[in-house]
Amino acid sequence: MNNGEGKESHNDSNNFVGKFEAILHTLFEEYGKKPTTPKSLTEDQKSIARCLQELVSSGELKIDKAASETTSLCDGFIGEWESTGIKSAAVQQLIALLNRPHVRGVLISAEDISSNRYLPKLPSVPFEVDEDEGIVVKVVRIVKRDETLGATIRNDHGKIYIARLIAGGVAARSACIQEGDRILEVNGLPTSDLSIDDVARILNRVDKGTVTLKLVPAEMSMRADNGTPHVYLRALFDYKGKEDDRHPCPEVALSFKRGDILELLACNDDHWWQARRIGSGAFAHCEDMKASRIGLIPSEALQMTKSMSEIEQRPTDGRGSSRSGSSHESEYVYESVCRLSPRDGISRIIVLVGPPGVGRNELKRRLLSRYPQRFSTTVPHTTRPKRTGEVEGVDYYFTERSVMEKMIYSGQMLEFGEFRGNLYGTALCSVRDAQQAGIPLITPHPLALQLLRTHEFLPFIVFIQPPDAATFKNTRVVNASLPRGSSGQSRNASVTRMFSDAEIEQIINGGATLYKQYGHLFDAIIINKDLEESTTQLLHLISDVETKPTWVPLSWATNLCSE
């Protein structure tokens, strides 16, 4: 490159940095945070910006000291921006770009190179000819810390083989052992003289030391392809691995609960998958992915077989239906999910689910009265005559019975019922109207969740759980003793009246039943110990929904991208 070209390239880089600074200054002005002087980049930030510009323009990346902080700066920017709660289509696009796997890969590679972090060059695996067997074998010597080898074994006609490698385990990291290898010796002891349990105890001993294996190499590698994208799943059932008598190796079993987010690392086995637990709920995340435990979980096919067997074994009520089973049980055991970032112009529906009397309608009423410009709700339909003072489209949509019956039969109703000869219900069009008016707050019957849980409505489902009986009774007694108008709120009979012990027990049992039937659909849980505290918790949750990525069904994101 001649001097003229070098000067021109440097000018392009300066222009790129200048435009970057201009964008930052524009953002400050746009959101009313004008600084006294234009926002400027530090020298390290300018160097990183030049690196990115050169990468985009020439396909080459020159590494310097500043590149070692690229990903931390990017993560810091993303975290600070999301914490402000400010919406910007441009910044959301930037965040999406920075989170793309190949972009992250380039930035991480730049950090590794600048910090001289390289994988050690391993010597080739020693091969020799076993004198007794007369076959080529490989000898693998592994020095491990306080951890198991991370491999399971199987007995096939008296011969012991490596059945499975746990992703991220010692054996997998060594890159010298593969699934299908036959074990001839372990620590100098012929496996022909040992039981499979003896071999397993040696391999999975959790202490420091050396394990030396003499292996017959598998004819072909059966390891999972680590180049494929990882799959994320939401567990729809509780699983205690160590209590599963089907598990081939309980020591490496991974337990989880309904609603937990799992990262699927390998699924090349028909019955047992390898996964790690990310966390629980819509905002689940793992602080240290490398340190998180990897274990074996039942495959979908295996767990479905067990679930169907359990349903068939339940006692029936004489009409062919299960007494204890629910007609709303999930048809699946895992749900594919992905993280969805908030989108401008799209309001997610906040769905409050809970047993009657727990206070979900009061929570909705408080938010609607305090923030009428921010929140909205649905207007129900009814066939009863309009009463004095009621307003069409505000209190109800008053309609003829024949019209409402037609809406029901054509699938236009989210939910409906009959009371004293009159039909009442909520139409899907009313939900769409609420989406246009603000952030919808609705309290439907749980049966309506299946209709709501689509990419059109993007519901965020919050379970309002009753507290223990003593707390429930004490907090409701306090509310009943408040004078009218306390805390700036008017009294509400359904909240402030005292509940009997039988009613409290019924509410708590109703909550437990709801969780058992629909718990796999809940994005968050609020234990309603105190109405004011629960209102604050709900507000924080809604703010997080507006500003942070959440785990949603993969089908939602797929459908949104195709629109």
**Residue 50 in this model has a pLDDT that exceeds 50:** yes
Domain containing residue 354: CATH number: 3.40.50.300
Checking if the pLDDT of 548 tops 50, the result is yes
Domain boundary residue, one of 55, 84, 114: 114
For residue 287, give both structure tokens: 């602080």
Nearest 10 degrees: Cα torsion 482, 483, 489, 492: 70
Could you tell me if 147 and 105 lie in one domain?
no
User: Is the model's pLDDT at 341 over the cut of 70?
Assistant: yes
- Give the model's pLDDT for residue 204: 72
Confidence (pLDDT) at 494: 45
Give burial (CB, 10 Å; 0-12/13-18/19+) of 211: middle
Residues 360 and 486 in one domain: yes
pLDDT band per the 50, 70, 90 thresholds, residue 136: low
**Is position 324 within any domain?**
no
490 C-beta neighbours (distance < 10 Å), count: 10
Are residues 358 and 482 located together in one domain of the fold? yes
Among 38-52, 140-154, 235-249, 316-330, the range scoring the smallest mean pLDDT is 316-330
**Is 558 contained in some domain?**
no
Segment holding 167, helix H or strand E: none
Give pLDDT, residue 384. Answer: 95
Contacts of 400 (CB under 8 A, 6+ apart): 383
**Residue 445 pLDDT > 70:** yes
Please check whether residues 350 and 461 belong to one and the same domain: yes
Within a domain: 335: no
| Other beta carbons less than 10 A from residue 155's beta carbon | 14
Which amino acid is located at 197 in the chain? D
> Final residue of a domain: which of 66, 81, 114?
114
Q: Say which residues have a Cβ less than 8 Å from residue 533's Cβ, sequence separation at least 6.
A: none
Residue carrying structure tokens 């938010």: 367
Is 277 contained in some domain?
A: yes
- In a domain, residue 320? The reply is no
Q: What stretch of H or E contains 440?
A: strand 439-442
Residue ranges of E strands in 299-383: 334-340, 350-353, 375-376, 381-382
Query: If pLDDT is split at 50, 70 and 90, which confidence band does 151 have?
Result: confident
End position of a domain, from candidates 114, 146, 170 = 114
pLDDT category at 228 given cuts 50, 70, 90 is very low
**Total domain count for the chain?**
4
| pLDDT band at 226; cut points 50, 70, 90 | very low
Q: Residue 293 in contact with residue 260, Cβ under 8 Å?
A: no
Block residue for tokens 């071999």? 199
Query: DSSP labels for 173-226?
Result: HHTS--TTPEEEEETTEEGGGS-HHHHHHHHT--SSEEEEEEEE--SS-----T
More confident residue, 558 or 109: 558
422 occurs within a structural domain = no
Q: Is the pLDDT of residue 403 over 50?
A: yes
Instruction: Classify residue 372 by its DSSP letter.
Output: T
Higher pLDDT, 426 or 6: 426
Residues 533, 463 share a domain: yes
Indicate if 470 and 353 belong to the same structural domain: yes
559/256 Cα distance (integer angstroms): 29
- Provide, rounded to the nearest whole percent, the portion of the chain with pLDDT above 70: 66
- Cβ contact 295:274 at 8 Å: yes
Q: Radius of gyration of the chain from Cα atoms?
A: 30
Q: How long is the chain?
A: 563
**Spatial distance between the Cα atoms of 367 and 350, rounded to a whole number of angstroms:** 12
Q: Which CATH number do you get for residue 205?
A: 2.30.42.10
Whole-number average pLDDT of the chain: 78
Residues 28 and 103 in one domain: yes
Range of the domain at 188: 127-216
409 inside domain: no
347 and 472 both lie in a single domain:
yes
Q: Specify whether 261 is located in the same domain as 192.
A: no
Asked whether residue 419 is domain-assigned, the answer is: no
**Rounded to 5 degrees, what are φ and ψ at 251?**
-65, -25
* Whether residues 514 and 489 fall in one domain: yes
> Are residues 347 and 489 located together in one domain of the fold?
yes
The pLDDT of residue 401 is: 95
Same domain for 498 and 367: yes
State the pLDDT at residue 490.
44
What confidence category does residue 465 fall into, taking pLDDT thresholds of 50, 70 and 90? very high
pLDDT in tens, 167-179: 777 888 887 888 8
